[in-house]
Structure 1
Amino acid sequence: PGFRWVLAKGMAQFQEVMRQQLESSMHVELENLLSTAKGADIEVCRKDFEGFEKLFHRFLQVKGPSVEWTKINRPPEDSIQPYEKIRGLPTSVSESLNKLAVVKLNGGLGTSMGCKGPKSLISVRSENTFLDLTVQQIEHLNKKYNTDVPLVLMNSFNTDEDTKKILQKYTHHRVKIHTFNQSRYPRINKESLLPVPEDVGMVGEGSDGWYPPGHGDIYASFYASGLLEQLLAEGKEYIFVSNIDNLGATVDLHILNHLVSQPNGKRCEFVMEVTDKTRADVKGGTLIQYDGKLRLLEIAQVPKAHVDEFKSVSKFKIFNTNNLWISLAAIKRLQEKNEMDMEIIVNPKTLNGGLNVIQLETAVGAAIKCFDNALGINVPRSRFLPVKTTSDLLLVMSNLYRLEAGSLTMSEKREFPTTPHVKLGSSFTKVQEYLTRFESIPDMLELDHLTVSGDVTFGKNVSLKGTVIIIANHGDRIDIPAGSMLENKIVSGNLRILDH
């Protein structure tokens, strides 16, 4: 055993030396990169690189999976409250609202939907973009309750310029808009573990050498921007954070009231809105009890052998909507004490030239374990309405929802509260293509399930009910005639309607 111990000790020392070497090589490379920066960029890059080196250091320390499966427990009963239980409106709504700022995660591009530029600028409903709807919602609150709830956008280097251009159109709206940028980190060569970019420029070859490190970056970037201090000085106590493409993430006065009405010692510093899993949500992160703390468990952290168990709807019943309510004072405290700890997500990518890289990311919800009195609230499904695909877009553009003051709510004409299951095939992936295939959006009030595959178009005023499956085989085309009513139908083969 003595020999084995020496061997193990030697191995550990060797690994430590290797780690130090990798860190110092990385440091040298980053210094070289920094020397290519000019003017105001120097300070920004230096800040970014400091954060990146911390993350890289933690990445090298991590051994094996970040969770031990046997230590995972279901969260205790009182740590996830049903929404019904916390319902209650504040005595003074305006007083509560004035303690709030709304933060939207606006770092993403519309690429997955075939659009250029920021995803938040895609039109989702009667010419309104995600950003328009957000501004309308907050403006409505500020007018109705005579308050001053500001909107804060966390942009990335991918979205900042385009977003700022568009913000001018809201100058006369009753909502103050602030922006800050998340960090810009270098991608890492998978083999050498050295940074990919050769200079800090974003143009040409170098541009795919950089990435925004996930929304967990919000804490450090928000703090570094000075905006957190500014909001605290204005008397703000909480931020409501959500993805800008989640149309269900509106300011909820009941949750806000629950937060501000707690006595001081019991103040809840972090609320995560969760909702019941359906078969469509098997990949969503879930809340667990781990080492005595509430913790977010993401599919990326689950050991291969347990992925099926993670996906089961019976063991892990809820998932994270990424609607979060977080105490500003607590973020400040954790940042200053350097106690914000989030698991690192290693995201492998292959660049256009075939180079294998990794990017190190963190998730905003993973910090839940650092906050005091953290709480999950099991909210209605209607607070989770993300638009990730044109299938989602079809739902929110249809008569299933009505739009009021920037908020989408399920139409009362729909008999049952569930959302239909819509699967549009690859001919519908890009927003532009999708729009040309519908002369008008079908009536979907009584739809349960729609699958469309192949070259299919829809005429005006089509009505879809029950389960409708439309499949045009390769080389065929199906034009659904104007005014058709399809109820529990399978349509296949070839149906062309040509202008005469």
Structure 2
Amino acid sequence: MALKRSESLNSVTSYSHEQGDAALTLSAELSKLIMTAPLNLRDEVERNCKGFQTLFDQYMGERGTKISWDKIRPPPAGSIVPHATVAAGEPKAASELSVPLSKLAVLKLNGGLGTSMGCVGPKSVISVRNDLTFLDLCVRQIEHLNDSYGTTVPLVLMNSFNTHDDTQKVLRKYKKTEVKVFNQSQYPRILKETLQPLPKNTDNSDEDWYPPGHGDLYRSFYDSGLLQELLDDGKEWVFISNIDNLGATVDEDILRYVTRPGNDCEFVMEVTDKTRADVKGGTLIEYEGRIRLLEVAQVPKDHEEDFKSVTKFRVFNTNNLWINLHAIKRLVEEESLHMEVIENKKTLDDGRVIIQLEQAVGSAIKNFNGAIGINVPRSRFLPVKKTSDLLLVMSNLYQLRHGTLSMNASRLFDSVPLIKLGDHFKKVKDFLRRFENIPDILELDHLTVSGDVKFGKNVILRGTVIIIAQENDSIDIPQGSVLENKIVTGNLRILDH
């Protein structure tokens, strides 16, 4: 990736002197690290090291501090708007959407790998429906929008060094849609004991480095030159979401809302009602007069149960964000963006504990003028993090049209079933071989499966179904079985009807 800007190491070092011995030592180690980079990559490595030094200095300055629980207030009236309110008004002709769409870019966060589901490479290339990948579905959505309204909404991907090369290879197959890409930063992991960088040179294993969370978007987007390119092309708003959230499609009502004349809102966060399955999701609060995203990592230990309450904190962040491009440019150039640092600890195979310093893109909400939340239907939050999620989106619970999944109209309830799959189903390849085809779950409320269990073709699951194979036992569900409000345990085969 060609970088637009680079900073001299002197500015890193002089800034770090104020941060104490740890920061000073880190700066010296980063200087050595930069000098190991090939000349053609040195500017990029130097930019990354400067960004990491700034993040580290903030971490050291704020280390150990927690949010003051007594200062937390509910979001002020009008700061979270019901989606129905946004959608209210006179019906709009479909043709009127072309002007708002001409001001929009769609950006997907594509830095993650599929390792949590046992896959190699970018998560976005995992097949999720009819042999279509996350990326395929995104491209189809954009193509349908542009074909329907005669617009040129661009699709932008923020990759990481983990996903960039493999994603570039996949993009060659899309002939109709141009997909723009940029890379987020690449930062060195640090050892918890010494707070010094794990890599000693730029040839070290990728495991010594990490992408610093999606909060890095603002600076990397700006530095890539793509932000300015979109502005020059007349784009004013970007819709940002995780690529694995299959509910995050362009919402016409929100688009009209943010692009309406006289709008003074620069940032919209889509939130949705919290359930007991979402207790760790970030939520919106008022803090010291500003609307702010509160994450569980910021909560004092003795208030974590209060944070998880579905009555006190009723909504959570879907990470679907609508942000004004001019505002991003202004805040980056003013260097006035502040986001909380998240300390992410991991243990290496050799037992050493390392720290990754990260930031969340939604935590920047407090920096933008007129920022609000919009309380959207749950259907706009359909992430695929585990194979239990994959079972949902592959099933007849959803219908696929133009790359968009929607709830099957034959489902009698708005809610989706609660599905818990055991370790035998954790990896995608194991999950797929345990189902001859995906069961009919249109009338399912709850499914728990544990142990060595396999499903034959055309199985129907209804109500609450619990299937538990004990250790050294196995259960085969035969073709055509209908399980309704059943508990199945032991070592057995269910006879065909």
TM over 0.5: same fold?
yes
| Contact map agreement 2:240 2:322 (CA 8 A) in 1 | yes
- The answer for the alignment partner of 1:6 in structure 2 is none
- Cα distance in structure 2, aligned partners of 1:303 and 1:465: 42
- The answer for the alignment partner of 1:199 in structure 2 is 201
Q: Are 2:479 and 1:478 aligned?
A: no
- The answer for the alignment partner of 1:335 in structure 2 is 332
- The answer for the alignment partner of 2:107 in structure 1 is 103
Secondary structure at 2:172's aligned position in 1?
helix
Of 109, 112, 119 in structure 1, the residue corresponding to residue 116 of structure 2 is 112
- The answer for the alignment partner of 2:217 in structure 1 is 218
Deviation at 1:356, TM superposition (A): 1.1
Deviations 1:219-262 (CA, angstroms, capped at 9, x unpaired): 00000000000000000000000000000000001000000114
Deviations 1:322-351 (CA, angstroms, capped at 9, x unpaired): 000000000000000001100000111111
Secondary structure at 1:433's aligned position in 2?
helix
- The answer for the alignment partner of 2:144 in structure 1 is 140
| Contact map agreement 2:111 2:122 (CA 8 A) in 1 | yes
Deviation at 1:496, TM superposition (A): 4.3
Give the letter for the 2:194 counterpart: S
Give the letter for the 1:167 counterpart: L
| Contact map agreement 1:65 1:302 (CA 8 A) in 2 | no
| Contact map agreement 1:427 1:434 (CA 8 A) in 2 | yes
- The answer for the alignment partner of 1:76 in structure 2 is 76
Alignment of 1:341-420 (within 5 A): 341-420=338-417
- The answer for the alignment partner of 2:309 in structure 1 is 312
Deviation at 1:381, TM superposition (A): 0.1
Deviations 1:94-120 (CA, angstroms, capped at 9, x unpaired): 110010000000000000000000000
| Contact map agreement 2:290 2:366 (CA 8 A) in 1 | yes
Deviations 1:457-494 (CA, angstroms, capped at 9, x unpaired): 00000000000000111111100010011110111111
- The answer for the alignment partner of 1:254 in structure 2 is 253
Secondary structure at 2:432's aligned position in 1?
helix
- The answer for the alignment partner of 1:87 in structure 2 is 87
Give the letter for the 1:185 counterpart: Y
Q: Are 2:470 and 1:466 aligned?
A: no
- Cα distance in structure 1, aligned partners of 2:224 and 2:40: 14
- Cα distance in structure 1, aligned partners of 2:395 and 2:183: 34
Residues 150, 90 of structure 1: CA spacing in aligned structure 2 closer, same or farther, 3 A cutoff?
A: farther
- Cα distance in structure 2, aligned partners of 1:193 and 1:496: 56
Comparing 392-401 with 343-352, greater Cα deviation is found at 343-352
- Cα distance in structure 2, aligned partners of 1:328 and 1:129: 28
- Cα distance in structure 2, aligned partners of 1:151 and 1:194: 38
Q: Structure 1: 5+ residue runs without aligned partners?
A: 1-15
Give the letter for the 1:251 counterpart: V
Alignment of 1:20-99 (within 5 A): 20-87=20-87, 92-99=96-103
- Cα distance in structure 1, aligned partners of 2:224 and 2:173: 24
- The answer for the alignment partner of 1:151 in structure 2 is 155
Deviations 1:38-66 (CA, angstroms, capped at 9, x unpaired): 03211111111111111111111114334
- Cα distance in structure 1, aligned partners of 2:66 and 2:314: 22
- The answer for the alignment partner of 1:13 in structure 2 is none
Of 164, 169, 186 in structure 1, the residue corresponding to residue 168 of structure 2 is 164
Of 268, 274, 278 in structure 2, the residue corresponding to residue 277 of structure 1 is 274
Q: Are 2:201 and 1:239 aligned?
A: no
- The answer for the alignment partner of 1:12 in structure 2 is none
| Contact map agreement 1:285 1:299 (CA 8 A) in 2 | yes
- The answer for the alignment partner of 1:7 in structure 2 is none
- Cα distance in structure 2, aligned partners of 1:403 and 1:469: 28
Give the letter for the 1:152 counterpart: V
Secondary structure at 2:20's aligned position in 1?
helix
Residues 306, 497 of structure 1: CA spacing in aligned structure 2 closer, same or farther, 3 A cutoff?
A: closer
RMSD value, Cα: 1.4
Alignment of 1:126-137 (within 5 A): 126-137=130-141
- Cα distance in structure 2, aligned partners of 1:409 and 1:17: 55
- Cα distance in structure 1, aligned partners of 2:384 and 2:232: 35
Give the letter for the 2:64 counterpart: G
Deviation at 1:453, TM superposition (A): 0.5
| Misfit runs of 4+, over 4 Å | 88-91
| Contact map agreement 1:449 1:466 (CA 8 A) in 2 | yes
- Give the TM-score, by structure 2 length: 0.94
Deviations 1:346-378 (CA, angstroms, capped at 9, x unpaired): 111111221111111000000000000001000
- The answer for the alignment partner of 2:9 in structure 1 is none
- Cα distance in structure 2, aligned partners of 1:372 and 1:273: 16
Secondary structure at 1:78's aligned position in 2?
coil
- Cα distance in structure 2, aligned partners of 1:186 and 1:126: 39
Secondary structure at 1:40's aligned position in 2?
helix
